[in-house]
């Protein structure tokens, strides 16, 4: 599964670099049918998703990927990507753990995000 | 999306109760095309997946679900389920955080697990 792992790595590198630099640059990754569940809040479509991402109340954020797993999905070419990692917010010393799941769907020689589920993982 | 949330809750209740009681009882949930990535190890098909699950080196285990999110997948009726939670192993006092992703696919009036990705989340 080397190929899908390469796609997953390339996608997450791009996604988190873009997120941390300028969240509005994530817009081309979403479509009208894209779904985001962010900390339990459900959003549908590019406009709603971008509005949510841009409204998040931190100025500086850095994602560090700890684990990255990919599997082929049911639809030909689609990929399930599961990420766990650390989120450093506004220079805070205590990174937050997060989990994020994407389903990437191929289209026009690239991929868009069909499913996106984000959760912070609080300690026990 | 009340319906898929109900399916996701019913599935995860059944899955973790079965896992914690008798891992071999998970067999009917998998198919020859099912995939499990367990802590980075990739397994394909019911037999390989069950062998892996039954070989895990703990006797008593309890899953506690902290968050559960579900979204419709690309294929009609299929569901992406993302779980975060705590794993209590062999009476240990320090629960481990975990993340798990499933894609459930409808078949014969029930669902089987097409994708399954499991990761422990270690602290920063």
Residue-wise pLDDT tens digits, A23-82 = 999 999 999 999 999 999 999 999 999 999 999 988 899 999 999 999 999 999 999 999
Question: Which helix H or strand E contains B118, and what residues bound it?
Answer: strand B110-121
ipTM above 0.85, yes or no: yes
- Write the CB contacts of A77 (distance below 8 Å, at least 6 apart in sequence): A105, A106
| A80 to B115: CB separation less than 8 angstroms, yes or no | yes
Q: Any idea which architecture B2-121 has in CATH?
A: Roll (3.10)
Which of A2, A41, A82, A88 is the best residue to mutate to test the B interface, defined by the most B CB atoms within 10 Å of its own CB? A82
For residues A11-29, average pLDDT = 97
Tokens of A43: 């959003």
Angle ∠(A119,B1,B3) on CA atoms, nearest 5: 115
pLDDT in the model for residue A58: 83
Query: Residue-wise pLDDT tens for chain B (124 aa)?
Result: 449 999 999 999 999 999 999 999 999 999 999 999 999 999 999 999 999 999 998 889 999 999 999 999 999 999 999 999 999 998 778 899 999 999 999 999 999 999 999 999 876 5
Using an 8 Å CB-CB cutoff, list chain A residues near B66. 121-122
Tokens of A118: 């984000």
Pairing of strands B35-38, A41-44: unpaired
């Amino acid at each position: 599964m080397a190929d899908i792992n390469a796609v997953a790595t390339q996608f997450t590198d791009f996604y988190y670099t873009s997120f941390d630099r300028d969240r509005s640059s994530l817009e081309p990754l979403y479509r009208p049918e894209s779904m985001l569940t962010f900390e339990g809040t459900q959003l549908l479509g590019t406009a709603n998703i971008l509005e949510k991402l841009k409204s998040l109340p931190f100025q500086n954020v850095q994602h560090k990927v700890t684990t990255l797993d990919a599997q082929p999905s049911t639809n030909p070419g689609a990929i399930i990507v599961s990420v766990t990692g650390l989120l450093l917010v506004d220079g805070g010393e205590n990174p937050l753990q997060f989990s994020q799941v994407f389903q990437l769907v191929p289209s026009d020689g690239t991929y868009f995000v069909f499913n996106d589920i984000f959760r912070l993982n609080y300690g026990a």
